[in-house]
Amino acid sequence: MTLQPVLPWWLMATLFAAAGLFLAWRLVLAFRGRGAGRDPGRDRYAGGDRREFHDWLLRSGLVLLLLAAALRPGIPGGGAQAATADVNVFFVVDTSSSIVAEDYGNHSPRLDGVRQDIMAIAGELAGARFSLLTFDSNAVVRMPLTTDTSALDTAAAVLQPQVTAFSKGSSITAAGKLLVERLRSARDSHPERPRLVYYLGDGEQTSATAPEAIKVDAGLVNGGAVLGYGTPEGGRMKENTGPRSAADGGPAYIQDRTSGKGGDALSVIDEGRLQWIARQLGVPYVHRSAGAPVAPMMQAADPGALERDPGQLGLDGRTELYWIFALGAFLLGLRESVLLLRHWRRLPPARLSPDAARPLAEARK
């Protein structure tokens, strides 16, 4: 068992000593029958008043329970969040047509996995600030840094791939310059907050030119991960026609116009390029598939540069036990409140002394 007192140890020791001496003195008086307000007609117990001694015994328990709760006892090894409140997290999401390739889980779009992982990471990094960047032919800031996870959930839920008619090929590092700008801005405004980057994509380069390297300053990225989606077998992609709908009631699949054979186009994950991006950012690469647990992803992406304060947010992995003592103190305090109310109701009405009542009587004449 470990203790994390709400006050400094020297002050807690002083409170314990003062409370212990006072309560011991009151118990001795009650035991000897010399307590204040003692009724001589009550039964004696070893020369003392039973009820008064019993009352002070319970009051002593109330005080000691409160002091025990203030020590914040706990058992090491409990579950805890893996975040601090002073962390900036940047999600960089590929929204090119390939992100809806149907090879995630049971022929679901990769975008389903992207949405789930964004919210899973946000849940593990509770209290952090989140920003969402997307890229296809262009890079866009969908959401600036905010602690509002509801806004992040909404932004992730409405993510859609680029309209197919406007797609002219995309680069896997199209968001590189925008990401670096946002990271530098976050560093300049709050240099004390670590910056995490989570890149979510499939690594498929459809631009005619080679991808440009992401030039990240040293120390600009403190952790995160590159998360890859897709399979070597690939998956078909449905068209995004924007607000229009197809005549048959649903979008058609994107057709292969590069091989000359026709048929549905397939998107295949390129893990080599994703690992290349991970090396540039200085973070690990993790392949994601349907049903994969969150913990391995977070362990692989754990930012080693983060400095965590074990006194905040339960990050030391403790199971708090103070509530047990606080509950006991509440029940004893409730009993004291009931006794006090009964005592107040039994008090006789205030009566004026004859000397004080005489001027009032004369004034009434």
Q: Helices (DSSP H) in the chain: which residue ranges?
A: 9-32, 50-70, 110-124, 149-157, 176-189, 271-281, 294-300, 322-346, 354-364
Q: What are 85's two structure tokens?
A: 């409140």
Name the segment(s) of the chain with CATH classification 3.40.50.410: 88-300
Q: Looking at the domain 88-300, which fold is it?
A: Rossmann fold (3.40.50)
Which of the residues in the chain have pLDDT under 50? 35-38, 40-48, 78-84, 245-247, 303-316
- How high is the pLDDT of residue 168? 75
- How high is the pLDDT of residue 318? 58
pTM: 0.61
Task: 119-123: list long-range contacts, CB under 8 Å, 24+ apart.
Answer: 119/149, 119/152, 119/153, 119/156, 120/294, 120/297, 121/89, 121/91, 121/198, 121/294, 121/297, 121/298, 122/89, 122/149, 122/152, 122/153, 123/149, 123/294
Q: What is the dihedral of CA 220, 221, 222, 226, to 10 degrees?
A: 180
- How high is the pLDDT of residue 302? 53
pLDDT digits (tens, 9 = 90+) for 128-137: 999 999 999 8
